[in-house]
Structure 1
Amino acid sequence: RVTSGLRSLRAAAQRAGQGAPVSSNLSKERPWTGGVGPVQPGRGFQGEVEAAVAKAVPRLQSIARSLHVAGGAGSLQEWSELWVALDDLQESLYLRGSCPDGSFLVPLRSLGLQYHLCIRQPESASSYMGASLVDKHIMSHGAFPDCEEAVEFLPARSGCIVLDVGANIGSCSLLFARLGVRVIAVEAEPVNLELLRASLRLAQPPGPQFANVSVAAVAVDEAAGFVWITRDATNAGNSSTSSVTDTSEASLVSELSTPVAAARLDDVAEAHAGLLGGSMSDICFMKMDIEAAELRALHGAPRLLASQMLRAVHFEFVPLGRDGGGGVGIRGGRELLELLAANGFVVYGHGPVLQRRVYGPLEFDELIARLAAVGKLGTSLTALRPR
């Protein structure tokens, strides 16, 4: 069985090297200097796979010979050595479940494209991973419809870079990447970030791999510094950020809060576009879903908003959140729409409660009132730059 397993191991290692697109040294935390760089294709990871196999195979062959001589009835020490060797190899090849503890791999099929993603296990809701409605929807339906809606507004432009602000576990970022565009995935929530990075390591079905994804492990805000990110215990997708500079205020932050680095969106976009071999002028589409922090993020992105190459901004718009809170607010909602209009965008409404059409500035109050009435069940809007 061990000898047969070695043959399978060589084949699996070759497939892993071809399919897994990221080198392990890129997944480790480091101070933010523009974030973690773009994941590298095949060769770096394949080299690690080949080195791990080359080290493990002689050891496993020696154990296999001993077990063969003993007629399969090896000593406890020999069987122990076998399991230690296999465990070491498993660790080297990142095959320990492929996804982090408390999560598992699921296949997604969206817009005719297939890819693999790590999502939370239902029983992880009471652990540090928490629960997530995104994960539950993917587990039940095999796709996340918000991503398909966003793709509807993706410009057909060669060399485009997509900026996914609030990438969550990567369901949309990976779909964008499978479409062949370069992607900057911005995510600060620690567990979502862990799952996103793990998914980038997975061997994927045939098609564009994820060497075109750059992960920015940072929150975006109107100024650089740090913010508190607070997880919703029942839905990690509702994680929100708040600026806390006074220590007396910091003492009031929930035990579910974590301080994370924050940067201006302009700086994140510029740094990661460069890491992907482009520039800010290559960013043609931005998706934003950062739980009422969109306005603060856009205040830190005057150059990006002024770029004529940015053709669309697809964003969650919640003037009023659940139980009257958690949204950007009526005044903030209007300021957000006016900021986009001032930069040459028109606001296009869609979703369950709006007509699919452009809403002019004189209709902003009506639009906000209608969405405020339905609270967190509001909608996404898309700011389009007319040609």
Structure 2
Amino acid sequence: MSAVVRLPRPDGTVEERRLAGPADWPRPARPLASRVAFAAAHVVADPLGDNTPGAPAAVDWEATLAFRRHLWSYGLGVAEAMDTAQRGMGLDWATTRELVARSAAEARTVGGRIAAGAGTDHAPADLASLDDVTAAYAEQIEVMEASGAQVILMASRQLARIARGPEDYAKVYGRLLDQVSRPVILHWLGPMFDPALHGYWGSPEVPAATAALLDLIGRYRGRVDGVKVSLLDAEHERGLRAALPSGVRLYTGDDFHYPELIRGDGVHHSDALLGVFAAIAPAASAALQALDAGDPARYDALLAPTVPLARHIFTAPTWYYKTGIAFLAWLCGHQPGFTMVGGLQSGRSVVHLAELARLADDARLLPDPDLAAARLRAFLDVAGVSR
């Protein structure tokens, strides 16, 4: 089988390319130690399911769990039921509950680390009060804790709509942190990922919102493992992590600047909770193994080729990055077809996805170039792109 493909470019030209083989990506012989690293995993849609917009999600459970085993095999933790799994964009609450239960059981079987997102997306969009938001959060927290997964307190669209200032966030989160059984990860998801979260933590001004978050963490530091920050602002992240109380982690959600933030400045570093780590798991694992071995130069060299791919996957409109994650998983053989719950496979253009394939090949992340080429040719044929 030939690994040659003709990939359309944004300028209207076509590049004939022979896809390269993968790099040598070793799996770790021991647990990763120098950083805590979670990959936020997507869900694989059942290709025979009615995954039209608005329909309940139909999931290919075998492929979905196999993908999580792939991540665990590279020493990464799984951040389950996050925005990468299409929370708020096709993944309904009933399916979310089942996803977390299945993934947590699988994690116990293989000894994998797992954290899971608890939010308010199962509740009506027009919740009327802070008490309603608190109760909605508490219901999901109970499900996540019962599964054995660490809780990630996801940002709430309803809270963003109702809250009038930082004191309302402090009231809701304070009640929740008083109830949890072990330390949680807070989640600050910026409006580039979800426009409904504009002004989270009580202010549209990032310094004021940061001050409110730090005040909350300072009062509940024993109940906060860390905070995941997804603002795509490296300078802000450096300032925030330096201001965190001792023992509270900064989990970077910056899919643009992750290599430098995880490496750190010699005094502070970020841990990781990244959607892009699901796409680049072998390279991410190898780089973290290099950090464990005290070889930051090799760490830099291994991650550098992944950055153009990451920046492309997360290009605006950023909230459609999930489409690229699923497309790459299909090219890599992790799922049988390129379909997504909610019909989200239409979220990116043909040219965007062709460029994604090119960048993944540049990063040596296609494990079977013949398979990837065959699937690319089939995709481009269906899209009407001439060979």
- The verdict on a shared fold, with TM-score over 0.5 as the criterion, is no
For the pair shown, which has the larger CA radius of gyration, 1 or 2? 1
TM-score in terms of structure 2 length = 0.32
Taking CA–CA contacts closer than 8 Å with sequence separation of 6 or more, which of the two structures ends up with the larger relative contact order? 2
Higher strand share: 1
Calculate the TM-score normalised by the size of structure 1: 0.32
